[in-house]
Amino acid sequence: MAVGWEALDQWGDDVARIEPLTGGVGLNEVWSVRLNGRVAVGRLGKRSDADLSWETELLRNLDREGMTVPVPIPTTEGRHFVDGLVVMTYVAGGPPETEADWRRVADTLRQLHRLTHGWPQRPGWRSSTDLLDAETGTKIDLGAMPPEGVIRCRAAWARLTGRERCVVHGDQNHGNIRMTADRVALIDWDESHVDVPDLDLVLPHNAAGLDDVTHDVAAQAWAAWEAAVCWDPTGTDEFAVKRLAEVRAV
């Protein structure tokens, strides 16, 4: 069995790693790859086959529907991942800079949401409203958080109860967006899962145009989600502590 980057051989004879890329730090090793004379992206991680099957099927579907995303490139035998390794198309572009740019990002996120109503949950994941009852889900372990913090997070998520759900990108920061004059692309789908779409729409300049109440509900739920996802059992992750502090007391 191929181990690690040795699995790259499964993509043919004309394939080689070029240099490491930023992004996915900690979870994955991400490298630029030369494949048949073209630049692609290789990502090696510890995700399960079920998880990678969900992600690669999602990306292939979004590509077919006309969205610009990293598209999994199959091996010579037609597989979309091998032992945690995925090779994808390289997506060029720059980050959003203006309020108008972020409005285009909001439109693209809403396109994602429209296309994925009824999509199955990512294996092992929980949505924010699932965590009103569940204690754990992939990276989240509410048992590791201060009990008073969990109460605040659940109160924030409870305000989303009953909303329609779809795939959310889940990490819609400027580093995961690649824009050109004629399209907006979303990369780094590691955090994507099924949840309430407004979690994706807490954007700079309120670019999604949410009304005050909707924005407050979404912003509180998003702060709670990021605190829970990033929480370290020692309680020392500064970002997680900062995000939890933004979730109001009940």
The residue that leads in pLDDT, 28 or 175, is 175
Per cent of the chain over pLDDT 70 is: 98
Encode pLDDT of 107-153 as tens digits: 999 999 999 999 999 999 999 999 999 999 988 999 999 999 999 99
Return the pLDDT at 190. 93
Return the pLDDT at 23. 55
Encode pLDDT of 184-217 as tens digits: 999 999 999 999 999 999 999 999 999 999 999 9
Query: How does the average pLDDT of the chain come out, rounded?
Result: 95
Return the pLDDT at 1. 45
Return the pLDDT at 109. 98
pLDDT category at 29 given cuts 50, 70, 90 is very high
Secondary structure string (H, E, C) spanning the chain = CCCHHHHHHHHCCCEEEEEECCCCCCCEEEEEEEECCEEEEEEEECCCHHHHHHHHHHHHHHHHCCCECCCECCCCCCCCCECCEEEEECCCCECCCCHHHHHHHHHHHHHHHHHCCCCCCCCCCCCCCHHHCCCEECCEEHHHCCHHHHHHHHHHHHCCCCCCCEEECCCCCHHHEEEECCEEEECCCCCCEEECHHHHHCCHHHCCCCCHHHHHHHHHHHHHHHHHHHCCCCCCCHHHHHHHHCCCCC
Return the pLDDT at 138. 84
User: Does 3 score more than 90 pLDDT?
Assistant: no
Encode pLDDT of 157-191 as tens digits: 999 999 999 999 999 999 999 999 999 999 999 99
Encode pLDDT of 77-109 as tens digits: 999 999 999 999 999 999 999 999 999 999 999
User: Does 240 score more than 80 pLDDT?
Assistant: yes
Return the pLDDT at 235. 86
User: Does 36 score more than 90 pLDDT?
Assistant: yes
Return the pLDDT at 60. 98
Sketch out the chain's domains with CATH numbers. 4-89 (3.30.200.20), 99-245 (3.90.1200.10)
